[in-house]
Amino acid sequence: MRRILTGLLLALSLLVPGLPAATALVSPGPEERLDDPELEARARHLYRELRCVVCQSQSIDDSNAPLAADMRGVVRERLLAGDSNAQVKDWLQDRYGDYVLMMPPVQANTLALWLMPFLVLFGGGVAMIVFMRTQRSRMDRSDEDDADLAAALSDEEGLS
């Protein structure tokens, strides 16, 4: 019932410009908190490491999607059952794939993803060095051309 009411209020807030958004109703409530502070800290840490598969760029900690709330519930249940953080992540990874992890594992199929920033930086550095050397050689050539021109002009002045 709460989800239906939240959805209706959110839809209404999008349709009517003056109404405030219903984000306060969507934020995690006391039912999503664990009584044990240590387990709650572990759960919050895991929430930040797991991606909402609906929102795509948000962790389940930041997402207001119903699936993210369900995933947070699964994390709490698994922690209460005595699973370690790795076991919880493995359980969710088995169901949703590597995409559920905010930091994908380094594997053959994700190697390009991990190496791309370094390759871009290296390529940019090489391009900058080549550009600077080209500019320097052009400056050297223009100095030689200026000297040749001055010599040619002085020769013409001597002839006249």
pLDDT of residue 32: 73
| Cβ neighbours around 22 below 10 Å, total | 19
- Of the two residues 89 and 103, the one the predictor is more confident about is 89
pLDDT higher than 50, residue 19:
no
Tens-place pLDDT, residues 44-70:
999 999 999 888 788 998 888 999 999
pTM tops 0.75, yes or no: no
Query: What are the angstrom distances between the C-alpha of 97 and each of 52, 89, 90, 105, 112?
Result: 12, 10, 9, 11, 18
Percent of the chain exceeding pLDDT 70 equals: 74
pLDDT of residue 107: 78
Confidence tier at 111 by pLDDT (50, 70, 90): confident
pLDDT of residue 10: 57
Could you give the CA distance from residue 81 to residue 91 in angstroms, rounded to a whole number? 13
Could you give the CA distance from residue 101 to residue 104 in angstroms, rounded to a whole number? 6
Confidence tier at 147 by pLDDT (50, 70, 90): confident
Could you give the CA distance from residue 98 to residue 105 in angstroms, rounded to a whole number? 7
Confidence tier at 34 by pLDDT (50, 70, 90): confident
Helix axis angle, 66-80 to 37-49, nearest 10°: 140
